[in-house]
């Protein structure tokens, strides 16, 4: 009902406001993947910028170099993200968090350079990148910005439902068992490397899907759009929102989109400093994120009673 109400409310706002909320929804889709990878599976990754870029380039290459309809990119992006995430999970998932950080960091740093590599430059556009258009709305009553928002919101709703069922199902319990104690999980018959690789693959599909939607929204992909800073930004979002909660992914998406506006008016240099200080303070004060703090507050109010 919340998603339906949000979709209805979008018709009450002008397009430029809807555009900004669309980006918040796209952030939330990507952070759902990080909740599964970092919160549920207990792994660590810097590769999300590269996976985001894989989704964006999937959409751009389909639109630019193939006769397929643009929506084919929406199907191709999660498939490529799933494959890339699974490969990373197989390589890094059976090692320590430090090794996972190094492997995924290397992938994030190498990805923009790969896009500039001469043998693939004709497909990726090299340093110039590629331009693409958002698929036309199905009805003339919908503007491009509103159609992008409704489409992204529908994908977020479906992705949240799938993630909820996954976490509460057999696969989710295997992810959590491998996170809590890999030796005990192995003793119970759980194949820990495969479970971690699967979690990484699912996270990759979510992040690549978000990258596809973002490429449509901005109409451009380029190597400079998928830097290491983007990976760190997503990690901040999931930590602030709460990496143990699907609601935390949505809160984190809203935070990434709108919190910089709070500090932007203070001047470029000071705003960056305040942004960093507030992030550190939030992580210290709310180690389980905003979603965890809200859950604890609700539990406290319930104990107090009327």
Please write the tens of the pLDDT for every residue from 251-291: 999 988 988 777 766 666 666 677 677 777 777 777 777 77
* Three-state secondary-structure class, residue 82: helix
What pLDDT, on the 0 to 100 scale, is given for residue 305?
Answer: 61
Cα 216–Cα 244–Cα 105 angle in degrees, nearest 5: 60
What pLDDT, on the 0 to 100 scale, is given for residue 175?
Answer: 94
Measured in residues, the chain has a length of 306
10 Å Cβ neighbour count for 47? 29
Decide: 59 and 81 in contact? Cβ < 8 Å. Answer: no
What pLDDT, on the 0 to 100 scale, is given for residue 27?
Answer: 96
Judged against a pLDDT cut of 80, whether residue 1 lies above it is answered with no
Rounded to a whole number, what is the distance in angstroms from the first to the last CA of the chain?
A: 27
10 Å Cβ neighbour count for 172? 18
10 Å Cβ neighbour count for 191? 13
- Which band of pLDDT confidence, cut at 50, 70 and 90, is reported for residue 161? very high
> Taking the C-alpha atoms of 115, 116, 121 and 127 in order, what is their torsion angle to the nearest 10 degrees?
100
What pLDDT, on the 0 to 100 scale, is given for residue 98?
Answer: 87
Those residues whose C-beta lies under 8 Å from the C-beta of residue 161, and which sit 6 or more positions away, are: none
Candidate ranges 202-206, 226-230, 260-264; pick with highest mean pLDDT = 202-206
Continuous H helices in 181-288: 182-187, 192-218, 228-241, 246-264, 268-285
pLDDT in tens, 41-89: 999 999 999 999 999 999 999 999 999 998 999 999 999 999 999 999 9
- By percentage, how much of the chain surpasses pLDDT 90? 53
Judged against a pLDDT cut of 90, whether residue 96 lies above it is answered with no
């Amino acid at each position: 009902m919340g998603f339906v109400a949000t979709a209805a409310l979008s018709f009450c706002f002008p397009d430029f406001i809807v555009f900004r909320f669309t980006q918040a929804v796209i952030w939330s889709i990507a952070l759902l993947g990080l909740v599964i990878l970092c919160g549920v599976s207990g792994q660590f990754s810097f590769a999300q910028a590269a996976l985001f870029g894989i989704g964006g380039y999937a959409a751009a290459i389909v639109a630019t170099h193939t006769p397929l309809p643009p929506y084919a990119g929406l199907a191709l992006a999660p498939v490529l993200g799933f494959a890339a995430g699974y490969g990373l999970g197989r390589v890094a998932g059976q090692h320590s968090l430090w090794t996972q950080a190094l492997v995924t960091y290397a992938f994030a740093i190498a990805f923009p350079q790969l896009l500039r590599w001469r043998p693939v430059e004709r497909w990726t556009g090299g340093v110039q990148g590629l331009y693409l258009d958002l698929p036309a709305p199905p009805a003339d009553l919908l503007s491009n910005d509103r159609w992008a928002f409704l489409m992204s919101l529908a994908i977020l709703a479906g992705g949240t439902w799938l993630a909820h069922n996954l976490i509460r199902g057999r696969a989710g319990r295997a992810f959590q068992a491998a996170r809590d104690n890999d030796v005990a999980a192995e003793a119970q018959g759980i194949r820990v490397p495969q479970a971690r690789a699967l979690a990484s693959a699912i996270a990759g599909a979510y992040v690549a899907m978000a990258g596809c939607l973002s490429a449509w929204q901005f109409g451009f992909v380029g190597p400079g759009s998928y830097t290491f800073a983007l990976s760190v930004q997503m990690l901040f979002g999931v930590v602030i929102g709460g990496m143990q909660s699907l609601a935390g992914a949505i809160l984190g998406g809203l935070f990434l989109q709108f919190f910089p506006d709070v500090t932007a008016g203070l001047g470029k240099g000071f705003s960056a400093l305040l942004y960093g200080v507030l992030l550190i303070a939030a992580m210290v004060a709310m180690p389980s994120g905003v979603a965890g703090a809200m859950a604890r507050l609700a539990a406290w109010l319930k104990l107090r009673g009327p």
